Structure 1
Amino acid sequence: MELELDRTQLNGFETVLDTTVCHEETLEAIVPDAYPDIRTVCDTEGIVLLKRKEAQDGRAECAGSVQAVILYLPDGADGLRRMDVTLPFTCGVDHTGITSKCGVMVMPYLQAIETRLLNPRKVLVRVNLSIQFQVCAPVSTTVCGGVLEPENAGVQQMSERYETCVIACIQEKPFPYSDEVTLPGSKPEAECLLKNRAALRCGEAKVIGNKLIFKGDARVQLLYRSTEGGLCTAEFEIPFSQIMEISGAGEEATCEIQMVLTDLDCALEEGNGGRTFRITMGLLAQAAVRDMRTIDMLTDVYSTSYDLTGETQVYTLNQLLDHGEKEQTIREILETGTLAREVFDAYATISGVTQNWEGERLTLSADVQVTVLYQTEEGGYTSAVRSIPVSCPLELPHTGVCSCWCSCTSPVYATPTSGGIEVRLPVCFRYTAQEGHKVPSVTAVRLNEDAPRDHSALPSIVLRMVGPGERLWDIAKAYGTTTCDIMQANALEEDAIPEGQLLLIPRKR
């Protein structure tokens, strides 16, 4: 006879893939007829826009584009000019655990971009991307907390309480943002926009009921030519606040939100004295919500009245070790060879994060490529580029598993100095570390009513010494009695017994 068990259903997601894929795109672009010939390419910057991501059976894929802005000096004229190039990309990763029901979080990083002049009317643009895929599959697990009505068959059971951290929800929300920003009075009026960029940051996230409320900001930087002919920069902090529908998580849940650009456009408004810009953005918020669940698991069972067999299964319960963010500051000198008269623009691109374990220390590492656009002593325009490694140590058990992301949280500070250009910038590592514990649990119990246990052949009283690591439960099970009977026979007030103690084991009647 199969006994009825108290079963609990655990629904959530498990990570089946967390990896970074490198991808390269190249494009030959013709200079538009209305543009002058290119004499020298001074700088190229790209913005990654994510357009699509999806999970298929055996594969996760994303697609988007890199909006590249080339700043160059024209042949036979002065002043920097702008040329726009769009490089579409599609990238994917294969894994047997991926199905169409999986949730996919994608973080694309622009590692490097360069432009090579083929002739005055043609350029070759090359971009290197690192794209981080985190794929989570829905799972439904049944755990048994105990036998229903155990007293009917003399069933003795041990149920233990555990906590496990589960990914309760994978959700996303796209949303647009549009606003006008005005140059402060200390900035000269703009004649034309040369470049723009936006860094996204989510600073606060909270679950209330079935809503995930998150807030953050987009730091938009502009490089423009003033009406006086000089190059100027401006920075604006644009806040956003959104509500996302979620399910299956409590209000103490831990929320990870990754923000990605899906569109970015900035234009100088006409008729406003060169002081107002219209900024339009498309943003995608990707959320992984982790929640703590408390569950009772049936870990052992026997009967004092009948032969009993049980089936067990090993479950993996995840414990949240640590989560948060750490900021590392880079301070380096970019050697230029010649004296830099003035710095006009500085920015950074970041590769995907790598991990290295050494004992109980996990080191997160990334390569930060810093680019500085400056004016030489002779009055020309050029850029200096340098790749700088940055690392972040964490104290974690080697058995842990860590998911991590990296971003530059503030504008790059750059100033001319002897021997080159000094740059300073903060790099933020965001991480979530967890550890899996194996717990065996009973999943089915069968009782043989045709084979009752015969206690008549056993002595009425047994003296038994407690061995190393033995529990009262183990002794009671071995002699077909109960822990309660042993405690009563030995006047014990609790089931914790010291090693070497002599116990009186009564026969079960």
Structure 2
Amino acid sequence: MQAQIKTAPYEYFDPIFDGRYETSLDTEYNLPDYCTDIQKILKCRAVPEVSSYIITGDTLTCDGVCDIRVLYLDGKGDTVRCCEFTKDFSASIKLKTSEEKAVACVEASMAHLTCRAVSARRIDLHAAVSLRVLAVVQKKELITCSINNETIEKRGESFAAHQAVNAVCHQFTIEDTLPVKNGKPPIESILHREVSCRIIESRLSEERLTVTGSADVSFLYTSAVDSSTEKFSSSVDFSQVIECAGADEECICDLRISAGESSIQPREDDVGEYTGVSVMAKVFIMAFLYKACEVEIIDDAYSVKAPLELRYSQNAFTQIHGTASEVLKKKCSLAVTDDEIQKVLDIWCEQDMVQAVCEKTKLNYRVKYNICMLYVNSQGRILYIEKQFDHSFSAELENQLTKRADSTWHTDLWEYRIVDKSTVEVSVETTVNSTLMSMNSVKYLTSAGVDENSPAFDIRPRFLIYYASAGEKLWDIAKSHRALLSDVRAQNELFDDTVPESRPIIICNR
């Protein structure tokens, strides 16, 4: 016979895929007629961008395009040229289960890349795209919070937690036209480009999430006047209102944003010069909403009348301890050997990655990025150098219960200077935003029933004296003697959960 139990729902996000998936990207490319011959490849950069993704059954299908730009010296060796082309990629990723309401966020990066000029007109490229995928489904667990039976003693506890409210995925497209700044020459060709997105502000209201942000656009281009190189940077602001069931001002929002497929195309003006660009960028936003709650559980029970059959379950309960925002600054040096730097044509940062680990009272960051530089040496030759940097930072944790930091980041190279004839000092800032949390795994009772195959206890009035040790739990004493916990407390005038000192305990079964 099952005891009557009372349950309360607890909702959580169950990951059905959390990891990386690689897909190969091999191609050959023959230069079109309008491109000059390749004397030397300076830099090949492949930027994978997600176009779309969808979950169908137990499969996540992702499509994307890789923007490939090969910077090289022409036949004379004194001008930087660029051949650009694209290569589509796709991936079908098996998920843990098939769920109708699963949502996901996908970010693409290069796992590895090799590029070589087979001839002056042909390029051979071997690469792999790494997809960082997090797919979740919102689930509900019924937690036993009470048992209604006078003959069953139950031990319960309550603790603060945060339960899932909703997870939403939203995508939109930014389109704008940006003019070249006054005084800058018109565009001949774009050599190198960057598109990144950042969130400026987010606000929750009834059933809605409002996000304002900016898409930052920068590129290096050759001048249509004298084939020199020029830099361009600008930004496109955006604001999005996202329908989000369950949202209100009391919710906590863990927000992520990434730029997907994008294009920057020179735009012709009325006199036939390319004095602007048309910008298109797909933007993906993923939001996890949580709300504070009090969880009550029953973690143990016993009967004073007959043996019980107990069934348990275990779940991880989320607790959010706030957010942390850090700007991690570092000065890095790029040094060239046996050469002299006359002029820096362009310098940029790529392939940034941040690991955030909570350890005791510290939030430790490990930041990796690659700094790339095009420069002119004292002989007037154009050269390229890159170097990877790996830095560690630490910040104090206000709440020592924090065990995990879900982080998003963005790295900016905001200043550089030529220190001496062979060294450039670069100032780099990495902005990291983290949601601080802990996942507490708790075992709790799901059902309690009398074992019908076992005889009832032989119930006779008894009077026992039990010698308890200091610190022994009253629950364990009452359970081992099948006595009501309330009787043990009253008969011995003990009101704490443990015995304060070694002493005899009266146990009187009624």
Q: Which residue of 2 aligns with 1:19?
A: 19
Tell me the secondary structure at the aligned position of residue 418 of structure 2: strand
Deviation of 1:121 (Å):
1.8
Deviation of 1:430 (Å):
4.6
TM-score (norm 2): 0.83
Deviation of 1:6 (Å):
0.8
Q: Which residue of 1 aligns with 2:240?
A: 242
One-letter amino acid of the structure 2 residue matched with residue 239 of structure 1 = D
Does residue 1:157 correspond to 2:154, yes or no?
A: yes
Deviation of 1:370 (Å):
1.5
Q: Structure 1 residues 362 and 156 mapped into 2: Cα distance closer, same or farther (>3 Å)? A: same
Q: Structure 1 residues 407 and 176 mapped into 2: Cα distance closer, same or farther (>3 Å)? A: same
Q: Structure 1 residues 507 and 71 mapped into 2: Cα distance closer, same or farther (>3 Å)? A: closer
Deviation of 1:363 (Å):
5.5
* 1:223 equivalent among 217, 220, 223: 220
The answer to which of 110-119 and 209-218 deviates more is 110-119
Q: Is contact 2:198-2:213 (8 Å) kept?
A: yes
TM-score (norm 1): 0.83
One-letter amino acid of the structure 1 residue matched with residue 141 of structure 2 = T
The answer to which of 399-408 and 440-449 deviates more is 399-408
Tell me the secondary structure at the aligned position of residue 39 of structure 2: strand
Q: Which residue of 2 aligns with 1:458?
A: 462
Written as runs of structure 1 = structure 2, the 5 A alignment for 1:20-419 is 20-22=20-22, 24-55=24-55, 60-75=60-75, 79-91=79-91, 97-99=96-98, 101=100, 102-110=102-110, 115-148=115-148, 150=149, 153-185=150-182, 187-194=183-190, 195-226=192-223, 228-229=225-226, 230-248=228-246, 251-271=250-270, 275-304=275-304, 308-320=308-320, 323-337=323-337, 338-350=339-351, 365=366, 367-393=368-394, 400=403, 403-408=406-411, 410-418=412-420, 419=422
- What is the distance in 1 between the residues matched to 2:362 and 2:97? 31
Q: Structure 1 residues 55 and 400 mapped into 2: Cα distance closer, same or farther (>3 Å)? A: farther
One-letter amino acid of the structure 1 residue matched with residue 386 of structure 2 = V
Q: Is contact 2:302-2:479 (8 Å) kept?
A: yes
Tell me the secondary structure at the aligned position of residue 189 of structure 1: coil
Q: Deviations over 1:79-105 (max 9, x none)?
A: 44432111222346556x243544332
Tell me the secondary structure at the aligned position of residue 38 of structure 1: coil
Deviation of 1:466 (Å):
4.1
- What is the distance in 2 between the residues matched to 1:162 and 1:398? 13
- What is the distance in 2 between the residues matched to 1:358 and 1:309? 40
- What is the distance in 2 between the residues matched to 1:114 and 1:414? 28
Deviation of 1:176 (Å):
0.9
Q: Is contact 1:112-1:349 (8 Å) kept?
A: no
- What is the distance in 2 between the residues matched to 1:114 and 1:182? 35
One-letter amino acid of the structure 2 residue matched with residue 70 of structure 1 = V
Q: Structure 1 residues 365 and 57 mapped into 2: Cα distance closer, same or farther (>3 Å)? A: farther
- What is the distance in 1 between the residues matched to 2:58 and 2:160? 32
Tell me the secondary structure at the aligned position of residue 258 of structure 1: strand
One-letter amino acid of the structure 1 residue matched with residue 242 of structure 2 = M
Q: Structure 1 residues 130 and 356 mapped into 2: Cα distance closer, same or farther (>3 Å)? A: farther
Deviation of 1:226 (Å):
3.9
| Equivalent residues, number | 500
Q: Structure 1 residues 453 and 76 mapped into 2: Cα distance closer, same or farther (>3 Å)? A: closer
Deviation of 1:424 (Å):
2.4
Deviation of 1:498 (Å):
1.7
Q: Structure 1 residues 367 and 56 mapped into 2: Cα distance closer, same or farther (>3 Å)? A: farther
Does residue 1:445 correspond to 2:442, yes or no?
A: no
Q: Is contact 1:343-1:415 (8 Å) kept?
A: no
One-letter amino acid of the structure 2 residue matched with residue 457 of structure 1 = P
Q: Is contact 2:358-2:405 (8 Å) kept?
A: no
The answer to which of 16-25 and 329-338 deviates more is 16-25
Q: Deviations over 1:421-459 (max 9, x none)?
A: 322222344545644433222211224799776654313
Q: Is contact 1:328-1:392 (8 Å) kept?
A: yes
One-letter amino acid of the structure 2 residue matched with residue 242 of structure 1 = Q
- What is the distance in 2 between the residues matched to 1:270 and 1:504? 97
Q: Structure 1 residues 448 and 371 mapped into 2: Cα distance closer, same or farther (>3 Å)? A: closer
Deviation of 1:240 (Å):
2.0
- What is the distance in 1 between the residues matched to 2:164 and 2:350? 30
One-letter amino acid of the structure 2 residue matched with residue 386 of structure 1 = K
Q: Is contact 1:220-1:235 (8 Å) kept?
A: yes
Q: Is contact 2:8-2:145 (8 Å) kept?
A: yes
Q: Deviations over 1:181-228 (max 9, x none)?
A: 33444x423233414321212243343232222232221113233454
One-letter amino acid of the structure 2 residue matched with residue 376 of structure 1 = N
- What is the distance in 2 between the residues matched to 1:243 and 1:364? 33
- What is the distance in 2 between the residues matched to 1:44 and 1:505? 81
One-letter amino acid of the structure 1 residue matched with residue 29 of structure 2 = A
Q: Deviations over 1:375-400 (max 9, x none)?
A: 22233323212222234457899994
- What is the distance in 1 between the residues matched to 2:303 and 2:247? 38
Q: Is contact 1:117-1:123 (8 Å) kept?
A: yes
Tell me the secondary structure at the aligned position of residue 382 of structure 1: strand
- What is the distance in 2 between the residues matched to 1:112 and 1:270? 40
Deviation of 1:258 (Å):
3.0
Unaligned runs of at least 5 residues, structure 1: none
Q: Is contact 1:256-1:288 (8 Å) kept?
A: yes
Deviation of 1:465 (Å):
4.6
Q: Structure 1 residues 474 and 64 mapped into 2: Cα distance closer, same or farther (>3 Å)? A: same
The answer to which of 70-79 and 45-54 deviates more is 70-79
Unaligned runs of at least 5 residues, structure 2: none
Tell me the secondary structure at the aligned position of residue 41 of structure 2: strand
Q: Is contact 1:392-1:429 (8 Å) kept?
A: no
Deviation of 1:340 (Å):
1.9
Deviation of 1:145 (Å):
0.8
Deviation of 1:29 (Å):
1.0
